[in-house]
Amino acid sequence: MKSFFSSLRCFACGHELPAGAPDYVCPACGGNLEVHYDWPANHPDRSWWRDTTRRDIFRYLSLLPVSDLSLASPLRVGNTPLYSAPRLAAAAGLSSLYIKDDGQNPSASFKDRAGAIALVRARETGASVICGASTGNAGSSMACLAASVGFPCVIFVPQAAPAAKIAQLLTFGARVIAVRGTYDDAFDLCMHVCAQRGWFNRNTGYNPYTREGKKTAAFELFEQLGRIPDWVAVPVGDGNIISGIWKGFRDLFDAGISDRLPHLLCCQSEASDAITRGVAAARALGLSATSASADWQKLAVPAVAATTVADSISVDIPRDGLAAVRAVIESEGAAIVVPDADILATIPLVARATGVFPEPAAATAAAGLLAAAKSAILPSDALAVILSTGNGLKDIASARKAAGEPLVIDNSTDAAMRATEL
Ligand SMILES: Cc1ncc(COP(=O)(O)O)c(C=O)c1O
Ligand SMILES: [Zn+2]
């Protein structure tokens, strides 16, 4: 199976570059780039887009921007389970709800989908080091995948990143630079260092290849459900996951593999809501699903001062903001914010209703979906999916805030009997 990667196109001005161009962003305007493919029209084999012998994201190699799989991590990335969630559906008043547990990736987050592609791309370009800035998950994923093939990896994180994520980074042997500052500060330092040292820059949004890894979750949903879902709830910070999911569904539709598109629900914390504000701004400008790329140049996605407990989606300046806002508007979806208290309360709620333990960012997707269902953004007969993007063990401090306390007893059978009266 070979890749049909053909070109890169600027989100903002439409400028095109050939596949393999060394640029990360548009040389004409600095906008983010999108990967395009020259897929076969009317292919006689309906299965041309997947290698059914593989059970990981490289099953979709024909629609990925890399070619040499001898450079890929041997770890299994993707093919994460999709569970029906009837009790959560009942709580939401929906007839059909699923949860996709991307915490079951090698480093326990969705980010492995992006890291797996970044690793191959970095090695294909002959880079000596992969470097990235991260709220924690993108970095721990990159460190994990780099370790699996013995590749040097340098990660910038905010010093306040959850302890488990920093522990992962250190354990996998990355050089870990904990910045006294925010994720956005770490991002800028990484940009500077990569430019000076000529390292492969994995930064979210800036690097056009990460989005392509993330889109594989859309391909999996289509295969797992046997159809396109009506709504997909996505937790959003930089906006690269939601724009990746949209790219995946669009690739399927544009290549004639599927015949419809889903609505995307952008779920954010009230305390980190840049994309939601961007969606409101786009609507105020009259931008719609049919607006041309040039019309989108009017939109400035605002920056915010993020403070949310959901560390993975605590973002001041969303690095894939335009693509994310377009994903919401073009999918005729919606953007919703939830308070941090709801995010924390939703961690045990999801865990108890499904057996899937979400980290705060992942719980934000569930909290957003519940709120959207209550406010009738989602019709009750919609087939909806929650993307659970990270495992709750990554941030046990947040889970403990919402999960209650154990019954502490003396070492006596009487006390044990009293404590076990149900
Ligand atoms: C667990 C988790 N969920 C959601 C997100 C949000 O993704 P994005 O920043 O691309 O919007 C992240 C990003 O770090 C994450 O780690
Ligand atoms: Zn451009």
| HEC string for 356-392 | CCECHHHHHHHHHHHHHHHCCCCCCCCEEEEEECEEH
Q: Which atom of ligand 1 is nearest to the CA of 241?
A: 10
pLDDT in tens, 60-87: 999 999 999 999 999 999 999 999 999 9
Helix axes 137-149, 112-124, angle to 10 degrees: 50
Q: Which two tokens stand for residue 370?
A: 């519940």
Say which ligand is closest to the CA of 368.
Answer: 1
- 373 contact partners, CB below 8 Å, separation of at least 6: 92, 93, 94, 380, 384
Q: Is the CB of 276 under 6 A from ligand 1?
A: no
The DSSP element (H or E) to which 338 belongs, if any, is strand 334-338
Q: Specify the number of domains making up the chain.
A: 1
* Domain assignment of residue 226, given as a range: 82-106+210-402
Give the per-residue pLDDT at 293. 83
Report the C-alpha gap between 364 and 367 in whole angstroms: 5
- Rounded Cα distance, 243 and 60, in Å: 18
Instruction: Decide whether any atom of ligand 1 lies within 6 Å of the 333 Cβ.
Output: no
Q: Is the CB of 273 under 6 A from ligand 1?
A: no
pLDDT at position 42 is: 79
Per-residue model confidence as pLDDT tens digits over 179-222: 999 999 999 999 999 999 999 999 999 999 999 999 999 999 99
Inter-axis angle of helices 274-284 and 321-330, nearest 10: 60
100: left (phi over 0), alpha (psi -120 to 50) or beta: beta
Q: How far is the CA of 241 from the centre of ligand 1 (A)?
A: 6
169 lies in some domain? no
Residues 6+ apart with CB under 8 A from 404: 348
Q: For residue 257, what are the CA distances in angstroms to 47, 253, 260? A: 9, 6, 9
Residue by residue, pLDDT tens for the chain (422 residues) are 899 999 999 988 999 999 989 999 999 999 999 999 999 887 888 889 999 999 999 999 999 999 999 999 999 999 999 999 999 999 999 999 999 999 999 999 999 999 999 999 999 999 999 999 998 999 999 999 999 999 999 999 999 998 999 999 999 999 999 999 999 999 999 999 999 999 999 999 999 999 999 999 999 999 999 999 999 999 999 999 999 999 999 999 999 999 999 999 999 999 999 999 999 999 999 999 999 888 998 999 999 999 999 999 999 999 999 999 999 999 999 999 999 999 999 999 999 999 999 999 999 999 999 999 999 899 999 999 999 999 999 999 999 999 999 999 999 999 999 999 99
Q: How far is 90 from 362, CA to CA, in rounded Å?
A: 19
What's the confidence (pLDDT) of residue 40?
84
- Residue 199 within any structural domain of the chain: no
Q: Is 318 in the pocket of ligand 1 (CB under 6 A)?
A: no
Tokens 């053909």, residue located? 6
Q: For residue 66, is it within any domain?
A: no
Closest listed residue to residue 206, CA positions, set 19, 415, 33, 1: 33
Residue 191 inside a domain? The answer is no
CATH number for the domain harbouring residue 380:
3.40.50.1100
Other C-beta atoms lying within 10 Å of the C-beta of residue 405? 6
What is the number of the ligand 1 atom nearest to the C-alpha of 240? 10
Which candidate, 378, 313, 306, 373, places its Cα nearest to that of 343? 313
Strand partners, 131: 154, 201
For the Cβ of 358 lying below 6 angstroms from any atom of ligand 1, the answer is: no
The reply to whether 307 falls in a domain is yes
Per-residue pLDDT tens digits for 257-273: 999 999 999 999 999 99
pTM over 0.95: yes
Tell whether 410 is covered by a domain: no
Whether 414 maps to a domain, the answer reads no
Residue 243 has a pLDDT of: 98
List, in sequence order, the alpha helices (H) in 63-209. 86-92, 112-124, 137-149, 163-171, 183-197
Q: Is residue 152 part of a domain?
A: no
Q: Which atom of ligand 1 is nearest to the CA of 204?
A: 10
Neighbours of 280 (CB within 10 A): 14
Write down the H helix ranges in 151-262: 163-171, 183-197, 210-214, 216-225, 240-254
Q: What angle (nearest 5°) sits at the alpha carbon of residue 165, between those of residues 197 and 64? A: 60
Q: What residue type is assigned to position 6 of the chain?
A: S
C-alpha to C-alpha distance for 150 and 143, rounded to whole angstroms:
10
Exposed (0-12), middle (13-18) or buried (19+): which is 403, by Cβ within 10 Å? Answer: middle
Alpha-carbon span 30 to 211, nearest angstrom: 17
Whether the CB of 135 sits within 6 Å of ligand 1: yes
β-sheet bridge partners, residue 157: 178
Q: What tokens appear for 52 in the block?
A: 């059914």
CA nearest 185: which of 317, 321, 311, 30? 317
Q: How far is residue 387 from each of residues 59, 156, 267, measured CA to CA in Å?
A: 20, 26, 11
